[in-house]
Chain A
Amino acid sequence: MKKFSVKTIVAIGIGAALFFVLGRFVAIPSPVPNTNISVQYGLLAFLTVVYGPIAGALIGFIGHTLIDFSLGSGIWWSWVIASGVFGLLMGLAAKMLKMNEGEIGKKGLVKFNIAQVVCHLVCWMAVAPVLDVYMMGEPWDKLIAQGLTAGIANAVTTAIVGSLLCVAYAATQTKAGSLTKED
């Protein structure tokens, strides 16, 4: 495996810290337990666009593990892994769609959102429930209901928070060259 650059390592560390702080302190509870409406997935989707799939996977995995550690209600490995998988898939999608090159325009945002909805559905409707059935032996009906709620909620937050972050980031990348003062 290719060695990570120090910058990627730091991005993983700081990204996971951000993921943790958002997940732990900005959580908006939903009616289904263990299922917060979590703004951190918007952040994660944005970070994968900038730092790639491996960083995305690790940010999701480390950040989520630490959230579970700090909550003290056991580590919900299935969901932790799903968070990592989301970072990975989203990063791969961003790479395939070439979102990391050049600015994120209207077209880029549409791609970003299609990708994130698909990734969320895969993670919360497939990856997390399958792992739960195996590891916790819980019934499908309940897991699908939980996964659907989480998937939709995360997709909505990502659509808003993630898109806004992408646009704000793209704006910082443009240079002043073409601008003129007005009276």
Chain B
Amino acid sequence: MTNLFNYIDRPSPIHRLTGACKLVCLLLWSVAAMTSFYTPLLAALTVAALILFRTAKLRVKDISFTLGAMIVYVILNNVLIYLFSPGHGAQLYGSRTVLLTLPGRYSLTAEQLFYHLNVVLKNACTIPIVLLFVCTTNPSEFAASLNRIGVSYRISYAVALTLRYIPDIQREYHDISLAQQARGVEMSKKASLIHRLKAASTILIPLVLSSLDRIEVISNAMELRGFGKGKKRTWYAGRDFSAADWLSMAACALLVLLSLTLTALNGGRFYNPFV
């Protein structure tokens, strides 16, 4: 995986938005989705997210790298919730409508099912947006975007450095790992956990210590070219906001407002169809 962000360069209205705008939208969207448990809103957000996903001309094939893991994750998460708290729905909605009688506390209730629907919707309305951001944002623009939305340029550049050096460190990890395996360091699943951790350390120690040396070289190189001398800096890969950018951000800000208003009007965070 050389392209961390899985950036897919394909002309679409979403691609044309600046990275900074998309980052703001991602954050606002996440806030809206997180603060609310108003089921109709979550459902609407999910539908909107899927429409946006189409608008960006992304295909299922583009995200096949994560699709399987995503589904397994959502299912397991729900199974776990049911395992630990089968009565959580009844408790939340203040009623208990048994649909199927099962041993112990595991009887299936309509409330619990509805609660699970909420959990799934919570995931479903944000995952496409994260994927959208990852697939349509040029990594070069990312640091400039952070700086644009108010993160200090030093920290923004730290993120740029992370993106820059991940492939190098990944390659180094791979090489060191092979050389240590040749010396008999066993990483296979057969070994015990403690043994595997110790084995991992024989790879990590050279990797981390040589990275510490690298920190020195890079900071020298950056200072020699004037990094950190001013209060501000400009960005080669940055872009100016267009009308579409402002519009998108305003729309997402409205979403947050809507989400907060609905929670207030609803008189509680959970939308309750059982009363």
A and B touch in their complex, CB below 8 angstroms = yes
A residues at B contact (CB < 8 Å)? 3-7, 9-14, 16-18, 20-22, 25-26, 28, 32-34, 37, 39, 42-43, 46, 50, 58, 62-63, 66, 68-75, 77, 135-142, 145-146, 156-157, 160-161, 164-165, 168-169, 172
The verdict on A136 contacting B6 (CB below 8 Å), with A7-B216, A146-B80, A160-B201 known, is no
The secondary-structure label for the interface of chain A is: helix
B197→A139 contact, CB < 8 A: no
* Interface stretch of the complex, out of B13-21, B163-171, B241-249: B163-171
* A69: B residues at CB distance < 8 A: 4-5, 130, 133-134
A74→B205 contact, CB < 8 A: no
B84→A141 contact, CB < 8 A: yes
Q: What is the distance, in angstroms, from A48's C-beta to the closest C-beta of chain B?
A: 13
* A22: B residues at CB distance < 8 A: 173, 204
B85→A139 contact, CB < 8 A: yes
Q: Can you pick out 26 interface pairs between chain A and chain B where the beta carbons lie within 8 Å of each other? A: A4-B154, A7-B219, A10-B161, A12-B158, A18-B207, A21-B166, A21-B169, A21-B173, A22-B204, A25-B170, A33-B76, A34-B73, A39-B200, A62-B159, A63-B162, A66-B166, A72-B65, A72-B130, A72-B134, A75-B126, A138-B81, A138-B119, A145-B84, A156-B193, A164-B204, A165-B208
* Smallest Cβ-Cβ distance to A50: which chain B residue: B212
* B122: A residues at CB distance < 8 A: 136-137
Q: What is the distance, in angstroms, from A90's C-beta to the closest C-beta of chain B?
A: 16
The verdict on A9 contacting B158 (CB below 8 Å), with A17-B169, A138-B81, A138-B119 known, is yes
Given contact pairs A10-B222, A28-B193, A28-B196, a sample of 9 additional A-B residue pairs in the complex whose CB atoms are under 8 Å apart: A10-B215, A13-B164, A14-B161, A72-B63, A73-B70, A136-B119, A137-B118, A160-B198, A169-B209
